[in-house]
Structure 1
Amino acid sequence: MFTGLVQAVGRLRRHAHGVTISGLSGLDPLALGDSVAVDGVCLTVSGLMTDAFRADVSEETLRRSTLAAKAEAGAAVNLEPALRLSDRLGGHLVSGHVDGLGEVLAVTREAGSWRLELAWQDAAYGRYVCDKASVAVDGISLTVAGSSAAGEHFWIAVIPHTWQSTTLLERRVGDRVNLEADLLAKYTERLLRQDAPPRASEQPLDQAWMAEHGWG
């Protein structure tokens, strides 16, 4: 489990059995078997070197995230070690299991912040997005400032510290990012639907649905 508060920005490269992440300055000391969020993807440390570590990556992870493309390019990635039970929860609960990809629609400089507009590649995940909800973008805990009616298109106000301390300052229109929806929203939906008839899972989870199934 993670919080979405990035500790360091490293460099990602591909090797025969997975990836190598270098540039660990600012990251807490790691040990074999530790979990690290790499651009929001939970990876396990399988090898340690001076200022670098290796991790095995499954084909499923490569398909659902930007890691393959970034490893080929030797791109910068956000790094966060797993949360300790004694740590402060400064962001939100992030599992490190990417739901899907998003696309950068616009990057706009505003007074005291940057406006980052994003769209889910799979619009169905928009149902987990609402104003002031949390979302992890490349492993960064961010707050939704506004969204379209269905949530598939949303935007975020990014403060200067977050902008300068993460890979967000490198994002350009058309870039792909890893997105993880709010964990609590996904579990809430699951719990609400579990006792409903099978066909009810195909219907939108709105106020009318909740009233029909005894939640209103």
Structure 2
Amino acid sequence: MFTGLIEEMGTLRSVQRRGEAMILSISASKVLSDVKLGDSIAVNGVCLTVVEFDRTTFAVDVMPETYRLTTLQSIQTGSPLNLERAMMAGGRFGGHLVQGHVDGTGTIRGRTAEANAVVFTIEPNNPELLRHMVQQGSVTLDGISLTIVSVDRDSGTFTVSIIPHTLRETVLQVKQPGEVLNIECDILGKYVDHLLGLREGKPARKSGGLTESVLRDNGFM
């Protein structure tokens, strides 16, 4: 489990590809301070297992399912990567509950300066992901815990506002319109959505989204 607060940016040093399987070698410093074999590290929001490490790098396996579902399939040597170690029990919990299980990807449709912030407009490549998104709710983009500013179901997009610190300390500083990010929807919203679907005798809600009126009508508020 993670919090979505990026600890550092690492750099992809090498990629070994075998079809849809990969081994990534990543240079880092902070996340290696107490690393052990088998530890989980979120790489651009993807929970991966450390299979090898030394003082300056660590290696992780990427299985075909992860390759197909995330942006890791297209990363190149030299790419900056958001890194976060698994959260420790008893520590400060500054973000939100992040599993590192990516739900899909989204394309940046806009990047606009607003006073001291930068507003990103994201279009999920799977429109169904919008049903888990609520204004002022949480979403994870490339492993970064962010608050949703707005959701436009007509255009199939949502927006997030990035403060200067987050822009400086994460890969969002170099991301431009047309580029693709990993998306993980809020786990609490996904569970509530699933339970409402079961209550209605369906495996999942097909439309309408998780709104305040839906929560009130079903006894959650």
Whether the TM-score (by the shorter chain) exceeds 0.5 is yes
Map 1:20-169 → 2, pairs under 5 A: 20-22=25-27, 24-27=28-31, 28-70=33-75, 72-149=76-153, 152-169=156-173
Identity of aligned residues (%): 36
Q: Which runs of 5+ in 2 are unaligned?
A: none
Verify the 8 A CA contact 2:146 2:160 in the aligned structure 1. yes
Letter aligned with residue 46 of structure 1: V
The alpha-carbon distance between structure 1 residues 186 and 76, as it changes in their structure 2 partners (threshold 3 A), is same
- TM-score, normalised to structure 2, is 0.88
Q: Report SS of the residue matched to 2:53.
A: strand
**Range with greater deviation from structure 2 (9-18 or 40-49):** 9-18
Verify the 8 A CA contact 1:127 1:151 in the aligned structure 2. no
Q: Report SS of the residue matched to 2:11.
A: strand
- In the TM superposition, what whole-angstrom CA distance separates every residue of 1:143-175 from its partner, at most 9, and x where no partner exists? 111120368301111100000001000001100
- Partners of 1:200 and 1:104 lie apart in 2 by 27
* Shift of residue 195, structure 1, vs aligned partner: 3.1
The alpha-carbon distance between structure 1 residues 215 and 156, as it changes in their structure 2 partners (threshold 3 A), is closer
The alpha-carbon distance between structure 1 residues 208 and 154, as it changes in their structure 2 partners (threshold 3 A), is closer
* Shift of residue 68, structure 1, vs aligned partner: 1.8
* Shift of residue 191, structure 1, vs aligned partner: 1.6
Aligned residue for 2:16?
Answer: 15
Q: CA RMSD in A?
A: 2.3
The alpha-carbon distance between structure 1 residues 46 and 174, as it changes in their structure 2 partners (threshold 3 A), is same
Verify the 8 A CA contact 1:100 1:179 in the aligned structure 2. yes
Verify the 8 A CA contact 1:101 1:120 in the aligned structure 2. yes
Aligned residue for 1:190?
Answer: 194
Letter aligned with residue 7 of structure 1: E
Aligned length: 213
Q: Which runs of 5+ in 1 are unaligned?
A: none
- In the TM superposition, what whole-angstrom CA distance separates every residue of 1:166-204 from its partner, at most 9, and x where no partner exists? 100000110000000011000111122223224884454
Q: Report SS of the residue matched to 1:83.
A: coil
The alpha-carbon distance between structure 1 residues 215 and 94, as it changes in their structure 2 partners (threshold 3 A), is closer
